[in-house]
Chain A
Amino acid sequence: MTASAGATLEPNSHLKARAQWHPLEIAFWLSTLLPFVLFPHHLVLASQIAITALFALSLDLILGYAGIVSLGHAAFFGLGAYTAGIVSKYGWTEPLLGLLIAPAVAGLAGYASSFIIARFSHLTLIMITLGLGVLLHEAANRAEWLTGGSDGLQGVRIGPLLGTFRFDLYGYTAYAYSLTVLFLVFLLMRRLINSPFGLALRGIRENRTRMPAIGAPSHAHIRKIYTIAAMIAGIAGAVLAHTTSTVSLGVLDFQRSAEVLIILVLGGAGRIYGGLVGAIIFMVARDQFSGIAPQYWYFWIGALLVTVVMLLPNGILGGAAALTRRWRGLTP
């Protein structure tokens, strides 16, 4: 940001400056209302984009801000989805109830695994998260009595939201619901990131071992953010279960973890909008490519990723930021 040198020495005003709403941000959020008017037949897709954006946002918290690369983040997404589905199966059909219980379950799992996660880094960490994710997927496959196994959870009964708004075929309720949840969580996370805790996280990302020297307990912070990220991933999973009335093993699998990582890096990790931008671009591209060339959309998505990396380092937002800086004439 273009704050003057003097202001950046004052932490509080620095944080306050970052917390100001940029007009582009306001434009972005207003434009998320456009699908209701411009693309009324694509609301189901829009709601799935919102859910993916929320999931990517949760990964950004640990990857972009704390430097934890996870290839098993779908574990929490899946836990949230299954919790929401199972809760509805046993009679509690109000979605908002599932929305409260799912993050609790996912958060608990996140807290428990954070003790392991905090101790490792680099490739070791990536592989451990991958391993834990695959183990959970296999456990869910075995526990057919609970999860329905590979056929998916049976008997999911999602009631109308707040008792009145049914999740219908057209997706109005679905999109309104997922967009609202995304926005509210985003507001909270924006607060969090622009707080001293958020600054500490960024410090940990840059140099984990040095942070305790200035009084920031690395491990405790990492555990905290990992738990929060798990809870948000759980919320995203729950919203998916609510809007589609299905939960299957796919919410837990490696592909989902890998995909959300790709989406986040595509959009630009470490910039709170990275996950959102990545989700929109990736999922719209996939939908379009898939419609044009169903068997070969992989090729075009791959080409998109390669092009973005070669032309825009640090993801789309990173590239955009670099371009803006150059355009502004290299002012620091």
Chain B
Amino acid sequence: MTLGPILGVLFDGFAYGMLLFLLSVGLSVTLGMMNFVNLAHCAFAMLGGYVTVTLTRTFGWPFLATLPLAFLAAAVASVAFERTLYRRLYRAAELDQVLLTIGLTFMSVAAAAYFFGTVVQPVETPSYLRGSIDIMGMTVGRYRLFLVVTGLLVALLLLLTLDSTRFGATVRAAVDNQRMARGLGINVESWFAVTFALGSGLAGLGGALAIEIVGLDPHFAFTYLVYVLIVVSVGGLGSISGSFAAAVVIGISDMIGKYYFPALGSFLIYLVMVAVLMWRPTGLFGRR
């Protein structure tokens, strides 16, 4: 039995995991840091996606150039919402936060349908990102390769920031023990705003990158919320490496399951999640 096909599938699973990582890491950190349940997270991802679609189609921008803008648009939008609405609910009950953010998600879905229609949006990827290339005997999709490289870069950047910068140290402190951090004079709210913007920006980037793989329509904000929540809970709140590990585990196990046991189909992701959570309730790398 040749290894080529299986490795190809594994690689695809890893790439899918990178996509999930980009979509989820922001939510994991913000949930871990402030316990703020932002279920509108995927709405920011969707915004990033629509920004890319508009820029490539209406304004003819090249795909790669739109990615930083997708990031920025989502980050800026999140700052706007944070200033006006989210800030008032930091001390509120979790369920109230759920209601607010779900309400915002509903509104975003309707707005997307209004401005862009309900049709699935195509995206013009440059020709060097289409098709596949042969690496070490396995056929690898170029776009998937691009996803893997981007995901690894982002993960590396985030981990470096977390470990080696003051900002990172503050974030880690706030996630580990919010009360102590406040006691040390850290203004958790303003640091949270920055982290939130960063996390939402990454979601926007993830949304833009997702179009080529999974397509973009107004329901994106809801469809991917479940997968993001799975990654966040399996990885552990507030942990970047947790999100990474969880996303990879889920992406790969999903692929392996479908390749070897197609009858299991979509069962596998949920079984994996329930199993991991029952074994380690705080997630793979969670603290609390």
Which A residues lie at the B interface, using CB under 8 A?
63, 69, 116, 120, 123-124, 126-128, 130-132, 134-135, 138, 254, 258, 261-262, 265-266, 269, 295-299, 301-306, 308-310, 313-314
Contact A265 B109, CB 8 Å, known A120-B277, A131-B270, A303-B103: no
User: Complex: how many Å from CA A70 to CA B233?
Assistant: 15
Which B residues lie at the A interface, using CB under 8 A?
31, 85, 88-89, 92-96, 98-100, 102-111, 113-114, 118, 226, 229-230, 232-233, 237, 265-267, 270-271, 273-274, 277-278, 281-283
Question: Is B106's CB under 8 angstroms from A305's CB?
Answer: yes
Question: Is B278's CB under 8 angstroms from A135's CB?
Answer: no
Question: Is B233's CB under 8 angstroms from A298's CB?
Answer: no
User: Complex: how many Å from CA A8 to CA B100?
Assistant: 35
Question: Is A266's CB under 8 angstroms from B270's CB?
Answer: no
Contact A302 B270, CB 8 Å, known A128-B278, A265-B98: no
Complex contacts, B265 vs chain A, CB 8 Å: 138
User: Complex: how many Å from CA A308 to CA B99?
Assistant: 9
Query: Pick the contact of A135 from B92, B232, B270, B281 — CB < 8 Å?
Result: B270
Q: With contacts A132-B274, A298-B106, A306-B104 known, what are 6 further pairs, Cβ within 8 A?
A: A120-B277, A128-B274, A134-B266, A266-B99, A295-B113, A302-B110
Question: Is A138's CB under 8 angstroms from B266's CB?
Answer: yes
Contact A138 B92, CB 8 Å, known A298-B107, A298-B109: no
Complex contacts, B277 vs chain A, CB 8 Å: 120, 124, 127-128, 131
Question: Is B99's CB under 8 angstroms from A309's CB?
Answer: yes
Question: Is A269's CB under 8 angstroms from B95's CB?
Answer: yes
Complex contacts, A258 vs chain B, CB 8 Å: 102
CB distance from B36 to the nearest CB of A (A): 12
Residue in A63, A124, A301, A314 with the greatest tally of chain B CB atoms within 10 Å: A124
Query: Pick the contact of B110 from A254, A299, A306, A314 — CB < 8 Å?
Result: A299
CB distance from A320 to the nearest CB of B (A): 15
Complex contacts, A310 vs chain B, CB 8 Å: 85, 88, 100
Question: Is A123's CB under 8 angstroms from B237's CB?
Answer: yes
Complex contacts, B108 vs chain A, CB 8 Å: 302
CB distance from B104 to the nearest CB of A (A): 6
